[in-house]
Each structure stands twice: as structure tokens, then as C-alpha cells.
């Protein structure tokens, strides 16, 4: 029996937004372990530098750049630099996102609260996809994985802005999938439940009753490793134990 390839993504270049900590860092580490060249971006220069150093301890083909995903110029620079340093982007993981100030009763939230959450969680994904998709179309290949949330499928008190951003991401992802599949590009969305990270959520979490960042990274790897004729369009992740 032939042995499985230990580096099945060795011919891939992945771009991971929000890659300096938490879920994004775990995704980057997983993709590097599978052989991909990985580009990570984030706003926090110190955290990004630390993550880049840890990734380079695992592999040589790593690039990092400080980027605000709500800034089109930042995104354009990132995409260009990634392709110059690592090669054509074959996998885009839109992970950058924020929780607060998206939690709280809608009557208590400000317009700036709305703008901050929507600009990062929804507009940022649109801007990054708009920069990367034309390059994938030219090559007629690519995977785009958007990290959403089960909050994009369910409602709860105090979640108006955050849920709206994730429901919007569900719609954006579904429509993009239909727009791009004719070019050989798959757009998938991963919807985790509560994950034990430093993400600014709704309060303390019991680590025994939530997902880990590595659980989400495993789902991304599953999508990246699917067969060429299959299309995993949406993944729901829940912890085994109910919170």
C-alpha cells in the first residue's frame, strides 16, 4: 500500500487573514505542517512578528505583513507581495474578524460599533476576495474559505450586530460560490460554535465545553484536501459537550 503524502499541500500557497493569533494562527500552523507556503497578515505587528517566527521554525516559505483588511491599499500590497515572495495564491482563508463591540442590545449600540464590526467581518472579506478572485479566475483554480460562525445561522439576545455580520458573510459566501465555480474556484464557509481563544466574545468559556482553534484548523485542512471534483460548501462545527 502506498504511503500517504506527508506534505499534500506542498504545491499550494495559502493566504490567511487575521493570522497572528487564535484560530488564524492555528490555521497557518496546520497549513504549514501540510507543506503549504503561507502568508499571514494582521493588524498587531508584535503578535504577527511572533507568529511569523514560530511558523518559520517549521518551514522556510512563510511571509507576514501588517495589514488592515478594511483598507484596500493594504490588501493590494499584501496580495502583490505574497505572490512575489511565495507564488500564485491557491488558497485564501478569510479569518480576520472581531466580536466586540458587536455584542449588546441593539438600542445600546452606536453607529461606530456597527461600522467597526461590519467593516472587519464583512467588508474586509469582500475586499480581500475582490483582490484575489481575479487572479484565481485567470488560473482557473483556487479555494476560498471564509470563517463564519454558527452565529451566522442562529440568533440570540445581545448578538444583533455580530450576528448580522456573520449572516451577511453566509450570503456573500453563497453567492460568491455560484459566481466562481464555473472558473474552477470553490468558495466554502466554516461555521464554528464557541471556540476557546482570546477572541473578545460574550464572556468566559469553559474550555471543556467549547472547540479549540485546532478544531477549526482541521476543518480548513479538510476543505483544502478534498478531491478535485468535490465541493464542500459549508461546515458546521460544534463541541461534543453542550455548553
pLDDT digits (tens, 9 = 90+) for 24-68: 999 999 999 999 999 999 999 999 999 999 999 999 999 999 999
pLDDT in tens, 86-113: 999 999 999 999 999 999 999 999 999 9
> What's the pLDDT at 204?
59
* CATH number of the structural domain 13-237: 3.40.50.720
> What's the pLDDT at 203?
58
How many angstroms separate the Cα of 9 from the Cα of each of 91, 94, 144? 10, 18, 15
> What's the pLDDT at 196?
76
Residue 21 contacts residue 100 (beta carbons within 8 Å): no
Q: Which segments of the chain are extended strands (E)? A: 13-17, 37-42, 62-66, 91-94, 142-147, 185-192, 234-237
> What's the pLDDT at 242?
77
Residue 138 contacts residue 159 (beta carbons within 8 Å): no
**pLDDT bracket for residue 5 (50, 70, 90):** confident
pLDDT in tens, 159-183: 999 999 999 999 999 999 999 999 9
Which of 63, 103, 162, 167 is an active site residue? 162
> What's the pLDDT at 176?
98
3-state helix, strand, coil in the chain (%, to 5): 45, 15, 35
Nearest to 94 by CA among 187, 199, 226: 187
Nearest to 41 by CA among 18, 74, 10, 75: 18
**pLDDT bracket for residue 241 (50, 70, 90):** confident
Q: What is the mean pLDDT of the chain?
A: 95
Q: Could you tell me the pTM of the whole model? A: 0.95
Active site residue 218: no
Give the separation between CA 83 and CA 171, rounded to whole angstroms.
28
Amino acid at each position: 500500500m502506498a504511503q500517504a503524502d506527508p506534505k499534500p499541500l506542498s504545491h499550494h500557497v495559502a493566504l490567511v487573514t487575521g493570522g497572528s493569533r487564535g484560530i488564524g494562527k492555528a490555521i497557518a500552523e496546520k497549513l504549514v505542517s501540510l507543506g503549504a507556503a503561507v502568508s499571514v497578515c494582521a493588524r498587531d505587528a508584535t503578535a504577527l512578528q511572533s507568529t511569523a517566527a514560530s511558523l518559520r521554525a517549521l518551514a522556510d516559505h512563510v511571509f507576514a505583513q501588517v495589514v488592515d483588511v478594511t483598507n484596500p491599499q493594504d490588501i493590494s500590497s499584501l496580495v502583490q507581495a505574497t505572490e512575489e515572495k511565495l507564488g500564485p495564491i491557491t488558497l485564501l482563508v478569510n479569518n480576520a474578524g472581531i466580536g466586540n463591540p458587536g455584542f449588546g442590545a441593539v438600542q445600546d449600540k452606536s453607529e461606530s460599533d456597527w461600522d467597526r464590526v461590519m467593516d472587519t467581518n464583512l467588508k474586509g472579506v469582500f475586499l480581500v476576495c475582490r483582490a484575489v478572485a481575479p487572479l484565481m479566475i485567470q488560473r482557473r483554480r483556487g479555494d476560498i474559505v471564509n470563517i463564519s460562525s454558527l452565529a451566522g445561522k442562529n440568533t440570540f439576545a445581545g448578538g444583533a450586530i455580530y450576528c448580522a455580520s456573520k449572516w451577511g458573510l453566509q450570503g456573500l459566501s453563497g453567492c460568491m460560490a455560484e459566481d466562481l465555480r464555473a472558473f474552477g474556484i470553490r468558495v466554502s464557509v466554516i461555521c464554528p460554535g464557541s471556540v476557546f481563544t482570546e477572541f473578545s466574545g460574550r464572556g468566559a468559556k469553559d474550555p471543556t465545553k467549547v472547540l479549540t482553534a485546532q478544531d477549526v484548523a482541521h476543518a480548513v485542512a479538510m476543505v483544502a484536501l478534498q478531491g478535485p471534483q468535490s465541493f464542500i460548501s459549508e461546515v458546521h462545527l460544534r463541541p461534543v459537550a453542550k455548553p
